[in-house]
Structure 1
Amino acid sequence: MTVTEPAPESTRAPVPPLAARARSIGGSPVRDILAVTARPEVVNFAGGLPAPELFDRDGIAAAFRDVLAETPARALQYSTTEGEPVLRAALAERVTAHGLPTGADDLLITTGSQQGLSLLATALLEPGDTVLVENPCYLAALQVFGLAGARVVAVPGDEHGVDVAALDELVARERPKLFYTVPTFQNPTGRTLPADRRAAVAEVAARRGLWIVEDDPYGELRYEGERLPWIAAHAEDRTVLLGSFSKVMAPGLRLGWLRAPGALRRACVVAKQAADLHTPTLNQLAAARYLEVLDAHVARVRDVYRERRDAMLAGLAEALPEGSVWNRPEGGMFLWVRLPEAYDTTALLPRVVRHNVAYVPGAPFYAGDPDRSTLRLCFVTQTPEEIGEGLRRLAAGLDAKPLMG
């Protein structure tokens, strides 16, 4: 057997470069911040994580045990790409009960709703296509659209959400493929789009010819007010509804779902076949079993999160510089803060972290020119006492001459 000596370093050709999309899209600033602030002494308002102490460990473990005891061959086997029929049927009943008539065949189970976004980008977007997003926008959606080579244009809005007149004008001018929105307890702002604007967004899409991607990971975490209809209820033929179990069951299960018109859903199925064949069978079957008790669990979580939201709201006035403004979300996980214009929250963050507290600067959430005085605070992962201490540390970190970027 002949062993070939490696070529001298000076004569070895370089490997081909990464794809342009991989070179042009950076990682998540939020995950970078979480890595820096993972020390246990840090009160971390930066994450978008559910509170781990509230996971129903016993209930979820029982669901897995039952599935493995009753149907082990099925639970450990490959599944269909569309998803386990028992889970899709149970989900369809749940979506129907929330006001949107849905059959099991209308749904595709995804490996987290983030995968749903990626599948939609694969099925809908060509490089150079235009996508409209809220301003500011969920960061990981901006990553997905950037990797797809889309041109991302932000739609102006106010404290209630997207400006429908501006949306109409941009659709007419830019001819986008889709408009991406988180209309209920939005990430990062926590705001909720009113019912009349939801109907108006659907009307624009119908009149102008546009896909709507409606992402709803937080809708079941409502602490006050009445549930609002999905945009999909106004425009079923052109709206994709994304949902997730991450915030109400457990993110480690990586379970989401996608509801879409037939042709687009089938294209997403093909894209998923190429991506991962199917979402883990065991997780799907355990989730279907756990759905029987999910409502009771979510009710307990809502009570705790409501108390934590109220604790943060009660302490913000003393923690933030004079002239700061913030919202009061009716649900979800986030508060959105705007400091006085002289403050740059990105430049300030290292100084604040030295006080063992962290937030997410607002700038990465903007597709266009950012408002550098903004920041996002997550209120669900700390107790009211920890929130109080974190706000005292935040006040100390901000109690100095503002830093400009």
Structure 2
Amino acid sequence: MDSYSSSYTFSKRAQLLTSSTIREILKVTERPEIISFAGGLPSPKGFPIQAMKQAFDLVLESKGESALQYGPTEGYAPLRAWVAQDLKRSGAGDVSPEEVLIVSGSQQALDMLGKLFIDPGSKVLVEAPSYLGALQSFSLFEPDYHSVPTDEGGLIPESLTPETAAGARFLYALPNFHNPTGLTLSLERRKALVERCAMLQVPIIEDDPYGELRYAGEALPGLLGLGRAAGATVIRLGSFSKVLAPGLRLGYIVAPRPIISKLVQIKQATDLHTASLTQMAVYETIKDGFLDTHLPVVRQLYKEQCGYMLDAIEEHFPSTCSWTKPDGGMFIWVTLPAHIDGSKLLEQAVARNVAFVPGAPFFAGEGRQDNTLRLSFVTVSEAKIREGIAILGELIKQS
């Protein structure tokens, strides 16, 4: 028994905390013999190490004193301006730098938005399934989740009725290469969604960490631009984790100025500001069009990896399974026969040195599907993908 157990009392909020399912699985994947399809980790082959080294050196040599000093909570002004201009270029309309807040990764953005909008018992609308990291972050503030149904085309806008939307603080959605399903919301559904949310007065949180990782099909306009045209409130989250490197811990929020102003106050109480040195180095890296040449290389890498996994699944999985075929991003979502529990399949797979993420934790409340799993393909070699998928196919057939 812990001799200090009576000397402190955790808050109710802290007592509600649980470990991330994915993070717990990743502990298993540290074993070198494990073939891991579990982590949503970008491929290190896509990290621009030399470009980042040059940028950090340049910033420290030319702007070292300001780079190592406290900075404004809102973020490094040139980087905010770059984000606004980049969104404008992609069709989001006239975004002002004052509508951009730089944050320490989009996970911090989720935490801050939870603080901003959620009281205990507040209604929050999420897709079924939805991003596990968002559910974990929002759950700290004790929302009342209401799941919005999805199908093979993603979120179904027509399922948002006056009854389901009544009193909702926001709808959280990932329209591009959804985590965990890999699906992309069609243009028709995007328009229907923002129009419906405008009518029902439900803000949309558009989380888009994977949008730049498209390797098939045509790019679609984001919910931010469509929402502004339709009169909807859209809060957009972006990240440099997938286009540069996650270790930078750099993301941003784009929202109407009253929302940004309140988020600035929340961030001041959280960490004062995002690391100045990192912001300045990232800006130096991307300011002259670096991403225009860097991202095609990353996209081609992910396209090849996705192709290897889809080919292996087609060869080894039984016809009683179905799976998504993403146009970008990092994930494939598999639906197993109804009698197979993904969590139990994981136990069998780990015994054969293969890991993945069961689908059940991605559901909040109603509509949970235990016969699902998420596969990530970007950090595993072709040979290991084919070996691991063959083992999974064998286990599924045995079940």
Q: Same fold (TM over 0.5)?
A: yes
Residue 135 of structure 1: aligned partner: 128
381, 384, 387: which is aligned to 1:386?
384
Q: Do the aligned residues in 1 keep the contact of 2:162 with 2:200 (CA within 8 Å)?
A: no
**Equivalences for residues 64-103 of structure 1 within 5 A:** 64-100=56-92, 101-103=94-96
Tell me the residue number matched to 2:373.
375
Aligned partner of 1:344 among 336, 341, 366:
341
Alignment correspondent of 1:274: 269
What SS does the aligned partner of 2:237 have? strand
> Cα gap change, 1:330/1:170 in structure 2, threshold over 3 Å: closer, same or farther?
farther
| Matched letter for residue 386 of structure 1 | K
Quick one: distance in 1 between partners of 2:235 and 2:152? 24
Q: Which moved more, 1:232-241 or 1:44-53?
A: 232-241
Partner of 1:3: none
Deviation larger for 256-265 or 24-33:
24-33
Deviation at residue 91 of structure 1 after TM alignment: 1.4
Count how many residue pairs are aligned between Structure 1 and Structure 2.
391
User: 2:313–2:393: 8 Å Cα contact kept in structure 1?
Assistant: no
Which residue, 344, 350, 353 being the options, matches 2:350?
A: 353
The alpha-carbon distance between structure 1 residues 224 and 276, as it changes in their structure 2 partners (threshold 3 A), is same
Q: Tell me how far 1:394 sits from its aligned partner.
A: 2.1
User: Which SS does the other structure have where 1:153 is aligned?
Assistant: strand
CA distance in 1: counterparts of 2:200 and 2:47, whole angstroms: 44
Contact 2:236 2:255 in 1 (8 A): yes
Q: Letter of the 1:120 partner, please give it.
A: L
The answer for unaligned runs of 5 or more in structure 1 is 1-8
**Residue identity in the other structure for 2:191:** A
Given that 1:214 and 1:240 are in contact with CA atoms closer than 8 Å, whether structure 2 keeps it comes out as yes
The answer to whether the aligner puts 1:108 opposite 2:101 as a matched pair is: yes
Q: Does residue 323 of structure 2 align to residue 326 of structure 1? A: yes
Alpha-carbon distance in structure 2 between the residues aligned to 1:63 and 1:268: 29
The Cα shift of 1:235 comes to 2.0
Following TM superposition, by how much is the alpha carbon of 1:13 offset from its aligned partner in structure 2, in angstroms?
9.6
- 1:260 counterpart residue number: 255
Structure 2 letter corresponding to 1:86: P
Corresponding position of 1:166 = 159
1:321 Cα deviation from its structure 2 partner: 3.1
Specify the SS of the correspondent of 2:261: helix
C-alpha separation in 1, matches of 2:5 and 2:283: 53
The answer (yes or no) to whether the contact 1:321–1:339 under 8 Å persists in 2 is no
- Secondary structure at 1:257's aligned position in 2? strand
* Equivalent position amino acid for 1:323 in 2: T
The CA RMSD measured in Å over matched residues stands at: 1.7
Q: TM-score, normalised by structure 1?
A: 0.93
Deviation digits for residues 285-342 of structure 1 (CA, Å, limit 9, x no counterpart): 0000111312211110001110110111111023323300001111010000011112
Are 1:31 and 2:23 counterparts?
yes
- Find 2:297's aligned residue among 294, 297, 300: 300
Which residue does the alignment assign to 1:6?
none
Secondary structure of the structure 2 residue equivalent to 1:220: helix
Q: Partner amino acid for 1:264?
A: I
Point out the structure with max Rg over C-alpha: 1
Decide which moves more: 235-244 or 297-306. 235-244
Answer yes or no: is the 8 Å Cα contact 1:244–1:257 preserved in 2. Answer: yes
Alpha-carbon deviation of 1:170? Answer: 4.6
Q: Quick one: distance in 2 between partners of 1:310 and 1:295?
A: 23
User: Which among 49, 68, 78 is matched to residue 57 of structure 1?
Assistant: 49
Give distance in 1, aligned partners of 2:162 and 2:198.
14
2:381 is aligned with 1:398? no
State how far apart, in whole Å, the 2-side matches of 1:115 and 1:190 are: 23
Q: Sort the Cα spacing of 1:312 and 1:32 in 2 relative to 1 into closer, same or farther, 3 A.
A: same
